Chains A and B, each alone.
Chain A
Amino acid sequence: MSAVSASDSALPRDFASLEPWVAAGWAGQTAHDRSLLRVDRSPEEVAAFHAAVAPLLDPALAYLDLFPVDRLPPAEERLMRLMLTFAHVALAVEMQGPDEVLQRVATRHMRITRAVADRPPA
């Protein structure tokens, strides 16, 4: 079921429109990496990422739910990490809005040292 591609940015076919975001580094490896994308990238880029991913969040999670979450094929695993980055970006865009300028400093104080999503499969 996984996309057959040698590309490090390849996503499952229905989500191929998001591949440029993977290529631009938005599928952060760890939760802390993902949380930094929201504050390291420009506000315009963060907003554009949100606009691109938001309509695909529900279909992407519905699609990924068909797989065992700890054994996702490479393309699906990239899609998962892209959606996890969206969890952080959604806070910036949907909740903080104009106050995100403060959070760009504040959240750096709190380092994510462990996340269930980052654990190696048992």
Chain B
Amino acid sequence: MDTIACTAGCELPGTPIDPAEYGPRTVATGPYYRRDWFEWEVEAIFRREWLQVAHVSEVQNPGDFVVREVDCCKVSALIVKGKDAVIRAFHNVCTHRGTLLVSDRPAGNAPVFTCRYHGWSFERDGSLRAAPDFDTFGLAKADCALKPIALDVCGGLIYINLDPQPRQSLAEFLGPAWDLLPYHAAATATGFSEYVYEIEGNWKLVYDNFQETYHLRFIHPRSIGTSTSPAGNFFGYADTFATFGPHRTMLLPVNPEFEPAPTAARGFGKVIQSAMERGTELGPWNRYYFCMFPDNYLLLSQANPFVHSIMPISETRTRGTVRLYWNGEDASASERFAREFAMAATRDIHSEDVSVIEACQKGILSRAIDRVHFQQHELFCHYLYDQARLRVQDWLSQQGMADAADAALEFGR
């Protein structure tokens, strides 16, 4: 595998991409609004790839559980830590007649999970513990366990895969990121701050906003529009682009001349200082931006240690979940203040994007244009489009519908 030297002396695995060589691209708008395309993406991508849905701090003790909805797949996943300290995922569905098992709360601790319909109860390892009058079914208990969902953990981040037989292990899927994600604050975090939003936008269109810097000057003039663009690099274009598998990474520039506002200097300064005191200094990995396929991106940064999950709800609706991970409990009032500030500041930046993403979706839905253009530094937008396209076409071929995607990908439709 090729490696590229990062500016601080470490090596970033992946295949480097020269934006000038990659060049500008133009693609059809169909995949950003068509319902048929979205339904194919659900089958080809969201039911088959690893999705980042939870964190180990949410299930610290035996019996701790969270319920996570994968809306586009209509799946409710129950993630629970067993007596044996193993974290497992199951379909949150009673095996008697299909009732949602845990429906009264999204998280908690339970010694056993009991279906409210007919009282079937399940152990934390998914096995059927008991069912009233079970002899009348003529079934074996062993055949009535909760349906498992593949689960694995990397760097404290919990992933699930809805494919009953995933094509790749999580390590294979993440590739070099398997060794890099443990540098993220999530790997050692004992807790996190979180904000969520729903937005009228196709998931790729939402994601695209967060994988190019071309818009920063216009949409974030006061927050990050200038702090990330050093002299001679007005648009804050990344210094380095690379891909590995369907994933992308880039090294974000900084403007050394930028002077933060007083409270920002205090807040971010304290967050960074605390991280260093706690031994979570990231060193050369700081400011590496990982765009993970299909559903999340993250920054290896001490100041904004976030993971931003982008999960589709429908072809034009998406839910975003942003979590900032913290190593250790708040040690002092100053640290508590700094973490609240870092969350609020990160939320400010992300919230600046909402209205323009929705405006973009509206324009595409109008069908005034049949194509969108990406300049060479927007290459990750095209790369994501292409990775999704390849998976949809591959899946359609397997279904004997190889030509079905053509209409969505052609200009003039």
* Segment with Cβ contacts to B, from A4-12, A14-22, A40-48, A57-65: A57-65
B350 touches A110 (CB 8 A): yes
B344 touches A87 (CB 8 A): yes
Q: Could you tell me the distance between the alpha carbons of A58 and B350 in the complex, rounded to whole angstroms?
A: 28
B336 touches A106 (CB 8 A): no
B395 to chain A, nearest CB (A): 33
B222 touches A111 (CB 8 A): no
* Chain A residue with the shortest CB-CB distance to B191: A116
Contacts A91-B344, A95-B223, A116-B336; is A109 near B264 (CB within 8 Å)?
no
Q: Taking the complex as formed, is A31 at the interface, i.e. its CB lies under 8 A from any CB of chain B? A: yes
A111 touches B333 (CB 8 A): no
Q: Taking the complex as formed, is B263 at the interface, i.e. its CB lies under 8 A from any CB of chain A? A: yes
A22-57 interface (Cβ within 8 A of B): 31, 34-35, 54, 57
Q: Taking the complex as formed, is A2 at the interface, i.e. its CB lies under 8 A from any CB of chain B? A: no
A65-99 interface (Cβ within 8 A of B): 65, 67, 69-70, 72, 80, 83-84, 86-88, 90-91, 94-97, 99
Q: Which residues of chain B are within 8 angstroms of A91 by Cβ–Cβ distance?
A: 263-264, 341, 344-345, 348
Contacts A87-B263, A95-B264, A106-B354; is A114 near B194 (CB within 8 Å)?
yes
Q: Could you tell me the distance between the alpha carbons of A117 and B340 in the complex, rounded to whole angstroms?
A: 7
CB < 8 Å: which of A67, A88, A105, A115 contacts B355?
A105
B337 touches A94 (CB 8 A): no
How many chain A residues touch B (CB < 8 A): the figure is: 43
* Chain B residue with the shortest CB-CB distance to A91: B348
* Segment with Cβ contacts to A, from B42-50, B235-243, B324-332, B402-410: B324-332
Q: Which residues of chain B are within 8 angstroms of A65 by Cβ–Cβ distance?
A: 332-334
Q: Which residues of chain A are within 8 angstroms of B352 by Cβ–Cβ distance?
A: 102-103, 106
A114 touches B192 (CB 8 A): yes
* Segment with Cβ contacts to A, from B195-203, B289-297, B381-389: B195-203
Q: Which residues of chain B are within 8 angstroms of A67 by Cβ–Cβ distance?
A: 333
CB < 8 Å: which of A70, A95, A105, A122 contacts B348?
A95
B348 touches A84 (CB 8 A): no
Q: Which residues of chain A are within 8 angstroms of B99 by Cβ–Cβ distance?
A: none
B153 to chain A, nearest CB (A): 20
CB < 8 Å: which of A80, A99, A103, A122 contacts B333?
A80
Contacts A94-B261, A115-B340; is A110 near B330 (CB within 8 Å)?
no
A117 touches B348 (CB 8 A): no
A119 to chain B, nearest CB (A): 7
Q: Which residues of chain B are within 8 angstroms of A84 by Cβ–Cβ distance?
A: 336-337, 340
B343 touches A31 (CB 8 A): yes
Q: Taking the complex as formed, is B351 at the interface, i.e. its CB lies under 8 A from any CB of chain A? A: yes
CB < 8 Å: which of A34, A86, A116 contacts B192?
A116
* Chain B residue with the shortest CB-CB distance to A94: B261
* Chain B residue with the shortest CB-CB distance to A108: B351
Q: Could you tell me the distance between the alpha carbons of A88 and B337 in the complex, rounded to whole angstroms?
A: 10
B193 touches A107 (CB 8 A): no
Contacts A90-B341, A117-B330; is A111 near B197 (CB within 8 Å)?
yes
Q: Taking the complex as formed, is A112 at the interface, i.e. its CB lies under 8 A from any CB of chain B? A: yes
Q: Could you tell me the distance between the alpha carbons of A88 and B344 in the complex, rounded to whole angstroms?
A: 6
Q: Which residues of chain A are within 8 angstroms of B264 by Cβ–Cβ distance?
A: 90-91, 94-95
A75 to chain B, nearest CB (A): 13
A110 touches B347 (CB 8 A): yes
Q: Which residues of chain B are within 8 angstroms of A102 by Cβ–Cβ distance?
A: 352
Q: Which residues of chain B are within 8 angstroms of A109 by Cβ–Cβ distance?
A: 197, 199, 351, 354
Q: Which residues of chain B are within 8 angstroms of A88 by Cβ–Cβ distance?
A: 340, 344
Q: Taking the complex as formed, is B412 at the interface, i.e. its CB lies under 8 A from any CB of chain A? A: no
* Chain B residue with the shortest CB-CB distance to A35: B344
Q: Could you tell me the distance between the alpha carbons of A9 and B240 in the complex, rounded to whole angstroms?
A: 53
Contacts A87-B344, A97-B222, A110-B195; is A116 near B261 (CB within 8 Å)?
no
For the complex with contacts A69-B333, A103-B348, A110-B320, 16 further pairs of A-B residues with Cβ separation under 8 Å are: A31-B193, A61-B333, A69-B335, A70-B329, A80-B336, A84-B337, A87-B267, A95-B223, A96-B348, A103-B351, A115-B339, A115-B340, A116-B193, A117-B330, A117-B336, A122-B329
- B interface residue numbers (CB < 8 A to A): 191-197, 199, 221-223, 261-264, 266-267, 320, 322-323, 326, 329-337, 339-341, 343-345, 347-348, 350-352, 354-355
| 22 A-B contacts (beta carbon < 8 Å) | A57-B266, A64-B333, A69-B332, A84-B336, A87-B267, A87-B341, A88-B340, A90-B262, A95-B261, A95-B348, A103-B348, A105-B355, A107-B348, A110-B195, A111-B195, A111-B197, A112-B343, A114-B323, A116-B329, A116-B336, A116-B340, A117-B336
**3 residue pairs, one from A and one from B, having the closest CB atoms:** A64-B333, A90-B263, A94-B261
- A interface residue numbers (CB < 8 A to B): 31, 34-35, 54, 57-58, 61-62, 64-65, 67, 69-70, 72, 80, 83-84, 86-88, 90-91, 94-97, 99, 102-103, 105-107, 109-117, 119, 122
